[in-house]
Structure 1
Amino acid sequence: MSALTKMTQVEAKLFLRDARAPATLLGLPLALLLVFGLMPGVNDPDPKYGGRTGLAAVIAPMSVALMLAMLALTMFPNVLATYREKGVLKRLSASPVRPSRLLVAQLLVSLLSAAVVVLLIVGVGRLALHVELPRNLAAFAVSILLGTASLFGLGLLIAAFAPTGRAASGIGGAALFPLMALGGVWVAREQLPPLLGHVADVLPLGATLSSLREAWAGNWPSPLQLGSMVLVAVVCTAFAARFFRWE
């Protein structure tokens, strides 16, 4: 068994041992889906969404995008910054195990958690609320991959500069709220002014949400949405790699 595999297993156990993280990660998006799903009329065809239900057109994609953002911007950087704060990364640098392997292991655990929750949201929505599945599965997969890359790139950038775990959570939370406000989470994109609609398409959370909505409707995301996610992922990851401090 390789050192990376062992470290990933350890990180997964630590993640599951802290009940708050899985509960938050699973509870909030699923609660959002279920609470809105039980509201009268939300599962009825709506001309505003092209005859689709509000649950499939907005709520289900929003639950997935919000889960990815929470994991990438608050939980992921918090763990890395806490390890730096406690000297874990510094001690690893003096051992045969490279600190970068811990980073990769933590990233793998986070990505696996994201995959599980995406499947749960889609599965619970389908079985419990009869939410239609994404009509364009290829576009859905591309949106998930690029959205995850852009949001985790931003989370890695936060982890690169945050001196402590508490600071990482604070910075991530401070970044999350404006991204939600401008990304079509609090107000549906159709209700945003045209200028803010274009802004939503270039922000990582807004681009992810809009891409997922397009995929659920059976369409392909716009080149602007796809390109913005790629750009954010590349730029944030490059800056994080350049300035990341192990101690």
Structure 2
Amino acid sequence: MSVLTKLTTAEAKVFLRDPGAPAIVIGIPLALLLVFGLLPGVNEPNPEYGGHSVLATLIAPMAITILLAMLALTLFPTAMGTYREKGLLKRLSASPVSPSLLLAAQLLVNLAAAVVVVVLIAGVGGLALGIPLPGNPGSFLLSLVLGAVALFSVGLLVAALAPTGRAASGIGSALFFPMLALGGVWVPKEKLPVFLQHVADVLPLGGTLNALRATWAGDAPELLQLGAMAVFAVVCSTIAARVFRWE
């Protein structure tokens, strides 16, 4: 068994040992899906959404995007900040085990959690609520992967700068909630002013959400959304690599 596999297994046990993290990661997206799914008419064709249901073209993509954002912007950087605060990263830097392996293990655990919940949302949505699968599956997967990379790159930058777990949580929340407001979560993108519609597509959370919405409805994502996510992924990960400190 490789060192990365052992570290990933250990980090997964730590993640699952804390009942709050799995409950939040799984509970909030599924609760959002089920609560809205029980509203009358939400699963009926809606002309405002191109004849698709609000549940399929807004609520389900929103649940997935919120999941990714919570993992990337709050849970992941908070864990890394806590390890830095407790000196774990410093101790690892003096051992044969590279601290970068711990970083990779943390990323793998969070991405695995994201995959599980995405599958649950699609499965529960399809079986319990009759939500169809994404109409453009190839572009949906591309948008999902690119959105996850962009959001986790922002989270990596937070983890690189935050000296403690509390600081990482505060910075992550300061990014998370404005992105919800400007990204088309609280108010759907098409109901925002024109200028803010472009802002929604440029922000990593909004770009992910709106690209998933389009592909779930069978359309193609906008190039602005894909390009913005790619830029955030490259820029944030590059800066994080330069400023990241293990102690």
Per the normalisation by structure 1, the TM-score is 0.99
Aligned residues: 247
Counterpart of 1:84 in structure 2 is 84
Cα displacement string for residues 208-244 of structure 1 (whole angstroms, at most 9, x for unaligned residues): 0010001101111111100000000000000000000
**Cα offset for 1:10?**
0.4
- Residues in 2 aligned to 1:128 and 1:92: alpha-carbon distance in whole angstroms: 46
- Whether 1:175 aligns to 2:202 is no
Amino acid at match of 1:127: L
**Cα offset for 1:138?**
0.3
- Structure 1 alignment gaps of length 5 or more: none
Counterpart of 1:9 in structure 2 is 9
Cα displacement string for residues 101-136 of structure 1 (whole angstroms, at most 9, x for unaligned residues): 000011010111111111011111111100111011
- Whether 1:234 aligns to 2:244 is no
Counterpart of 2:110 in structure 1 is 110
Spell out the pairing of 1:48-87 with structure 2 (5 A cutoff).
Answer: 48-87=48-87
3-state secondary structure, aligned to 1:245:
coil
Alpha-carbon RMSD across the aligned residues, in angstroms, is 0.5
3-state secondary structure, aligned to 1:167:
helix
**Cα offset for 1:190?**
1.2
- Residues in 2 aligned to 1:230 and 1:65: alpha-carbon distance in whole angstroms: 16
Amino acid at match of 2:41: G
Cα displacement string for residues 190-217 of structure 1 (whole angstroms, at most 9, x for unaligned residues): 1101110011010000000010001101
Counterpart of 1:202 in structure 2 is 202
- Residues in 1 aligned to 2:191 and 2:202: alpha-carbon distance in whole angstroms: 17
Counterpart of 1:133 in structure 2 is 133
- Residues in 1 aligned to 2:196 and 2:229: alpha-carbon distance in whole angstroms: 17
- Residues in 2 aligned to 1:120 and 1:105: alpha-carbon distance in whole angstroms: 23
Amino acid at match of 2:172: G
- Residues in 2 aligned to 1:68 and 1:126: alpha-carbon distance in whole angstroms: 20
3-state secondary structure, aligned to 1:148:
helix
- Residues in 1 aligned to 2:189 and 2:202: alpha-carbon distance in whole angstroms: 13
Cα displacement string for residues 41-86 of structure 1 (whole angstroms, at most 9, x for unaligned residues): 1011111011111000100000000100000000000000100000
- Structure 2 alignment gaps of length 5 or more: none
Counterpart of 2:152 in structure 1 is 152
- Residues in 1 aligned to 2:24 and 2:217: alpha-carbon distance in whole angstroms: 28
- Residues in 1 aligned to 2:130 and 2:207: alpha-carbon distance in whole angstroms: 26
- Residues in 2 aligned to 1:53 and 1:236: alpha-carbon distance in whole angstroms: 35
